[in-house]
Amino acid sequence: MYPCRKRSSCGRKRMIPRRNKAVPHQQHIRYKACADMSDYPFHVMTKPVGPICNLDCKYCFYLEKENLYPNVSRWAMRPDVLESYIRQYIDAQPTDVIHFAWQGGEPTLLGVDFFRKMVELQKRYANGRKIENAFQTNGVLLDDVWGEFFAENKFLIGLSVDGPEHLHDAYRVDKRGKGSFQRVMAGMETLKRNGVSFNTLTTIHRANSQHPLEVYRFLREQGSGYMQFIPIVERKTAQTTSDGLTLVLPTFAAEAKVTEWSVEPTQFGRFLCAIFDEWVRHDVGRQFVQLFDVSLEMWFGQEASLCVFRRKCGQALAMEHGGDLYSCDHFVYPENRLGNIMEIPLEDLANSPQQKKFGEDKETTLPKYCLTCDVRFACNGECPKHRFLQTPDGESGLNYLCAGYKMFFHHVDPYMRFMADQLQREQAPANVMRWVAQEDAKKSANGKVGRNAMCLCGSGKKYKACCLRAEQSGPSAGQSRAAL
């Protein structure tokens, strides 16, 4: 990190990185589940089966969106809507690579043939441009037919898994209340067997947030090279709204309480810090964690590629099965419906005054407490959906996860500084592991920690088998960035 030399009112060095565009984003950030939003006018999360799912995850905010369409009996996207969407979306993108994202509900419920037709339509309208598809699934229905299709068409799969069985099955159950873990693991093996590229998406909630290293090490052992950790935060009202919903917007005026499955803010911070401490000592350049990669972007002086940390949002929209376009996946509410692509062109809806205001509000509605925060450059208020607390001064709009993110961003500060400096020197950020091993060794020496004592990094290993070994065999200072 590159701080300016000013100090904030609390006496801390202000954590403001120096902007540097010398190293392009894609040269040093390998996480690849999402397109860099700065390169695209807008991105759409497409829900061809709407909220319909074969699981009944207790924390899912999207299942109740079925109530927004009380007269719908068939949830599959109609062929004319699919074709119109693909044509309009490709035409609206100014780039040579077009990224589609398919989600639900559970999109595999539509069957492979639906997506074979989708690929045919993409080829018809591509006009020489490259098409890439990302596909989020719970993995329950995956078999070799799906695996062969994904591999043949080079789909990138996002697989939802919340950790080992006792943590995954705490909330991710089927319609009978039975855990889904074993079926998800079978789906993962299908992807591996067919050579399909996949990432894991892990929601962080009240159950698994207490077990950060167990979650991280499990995912690592399963071969997940790319990890997303998504906090679960929802508020629920005792009375169902007129739209049939119980999980409400941050501006909901009546009484609403944080759900019992939502992650607690400080525990979320501890979760991230614990995983980061393991990653920064052992896995930099080998395991890619979305939040850590995005943090390095920000410490390097670039704007985040992840919408929740950008100054403004509004470029990541959501489309329902019938063509209704909404401002965001987390804002599928009647007041955030922009229109229908069968009636108004997709590009016009995405660039409408309503959507532009939605995106600008992320910045313009930040409370004063956030404007003077030393980690604002990294946080930017995070997702507007989570801004329902009051600041210490009584101003509305403070993010529920504020305490957790402050904890995390302060914790990673020295490590991000080091990695950003390595990038500036055109060296590998993975060199941080050698530096951390040296720093840990100094602490061990000062504390007279023996070779056979437990390592201070918290890995659970003996010092001689952990940070001492890393110090002795870590990457050289001259390691190239390509070694990442």
Residue 329 annotated as catalytic: yes
Q: Indicate the DSSP class of residue 174.
A: B
Q: Do the domain assignments include residue 181?
A: yes
Structure confidence by residue, pLDDT tens digits, 444-469: 777 655 666 656 555 556 667 765 65
Beta pairing class for 197-204 and 130-137: unpaired
Rg of the chain on CA atoms, in Å: 23
**How crowded is residue 253: how many other Cβ atoms within 10 Å of its Cβ?**
7
Banded pLDDT at 471 (limits 50, 70, 90): very low
Banded pLDDT at 158 (limits 50, 70, 90): very high
For residue 285, give every residue at least 6 positions away whose Cβ sits within 8 Å of its Cβ, in sequence order, or none. Answer: 428, 429, 430, 483, 484
Can you give the CATH number for the domain in which 190 is found?
Answer: 3.20.20.70
Handedness of CA 187, 193, 196, 199 (dihedral sign): positive
Cβ pair 15, 413 in contact under 8 A: yes
Question: To 10 degrees, the CA torsion angle through 148, 189, 168, 279?
Answer: -100
**Both structure tokens of 469:** 């070994």
Structure confidence by residue, pLDDT tens digits, 93-113: 999 999 999 999 999 999 999
d(CA 383, CA 304) in angstroms, rounded, equals 13
Number of domains in the chain: 1
CA distances from 398 to 26, 219, 249 (A): 32, 32, 14
Catalytic residue from among 169, 277, 283, 329: 329
**Both structure tokens of 68:** 């927004």
- Which of 34-43, 83-92, 269-278, 342-351 is least confident? 34-43
Q: Do the domain assignments include residue 167?
A: yes
d(CA 326, CA 45) in angstroms, rounded, equals 10
d(CA 399, CA 330) in angstroms, rounded, equals 15
Mean pLDDT computed over every residue of the chain: 88
Banded pLDDT at 33 (limits 50, 70, 90): very low
Q: What is the average pLDDT across 121-132?
A: 97
For residue 468, the model assigns a pLDDT of: 61
Give, in degrees to the nearest 5, the angle at Cα 246 between 67 and 261.
120
Using DSSP, state whether 135 is helix, strand or coil: strand
pTM above 0.95, yes or no: no
Q: Do the domain assignments include residue 135?
A: yes
For residue 467, the model assigns a pLDDT of: 59
Domain ranges, residue 252: 25-404
Q: Do the domain assignments include residue 19?
A: no
**Both structure tokens of 76:** 């599959």
User: Measuring CA to CA, which residue among 38, 47, 195, 43 is closest to residue 135?
Assistant: 47
**How crowded is residue 18: how many other Cβ atoms within 10 Å of its Cβ?**
13
Residue 431: is its pLDDT beyond 60? yes
User: Measuring CA to CA, which residue among 466, 457, 464, 465 is closest to residue 278?
Assistant: 457
Residue 483: is its pLDDT beyond 90? no
Q: Do the domain assignments include residue 237?
A: yes
Q: Do the domain assignments include residue 421?
A: no
Burial class of residue 71 (count of CB atoms within 10 Å of its CB; 0-12, 13-18, 19+): exposed
Q: Do the domain assignments include residue 446?
A: no
For residue 482, the model assigns a pLDDT of: 29
Cβ pair 21, 440 in contact under 8 A: no
**Both structure tokens of 477:** 């200072």
Phi-psi region of 128 (alpha: psi -120 to 50; beta: other; left: phi over 0): left
Q: Do the domain assignments include residue 428?
A: no
Burial class of residue 203 (count of CB atoms within 10 Å of its CB; 0-12, 13-18, 19+): buried
End-to-end CA gap in the chain: 19
Structure confidence by residue, pLDDT tens digits, 165-205: 999 999 999 999 999 999 999 999 999 999 999 999 999 99
Banded pLDDT at 22 (limits 50, 70, 90): very low
Residue 20: is its pLDDT beyond 70? no
Handedness of CA 235, 239, 242, 244 (dihedral sign): positive
Q: Decide which of 338 and 450 is more confident.
A: 338
d(CA 220, CA 205) in angstroms, rounded, equals 19
Residue 43: is its pLDDT beyond 50? yes
d(CA 191, CA 74) in angstroms, rounded, equals 29
Using DSSP, state whether 62 is helix, strand or coil: coil
Residue 66: is its pLDDT beyond 80? yes
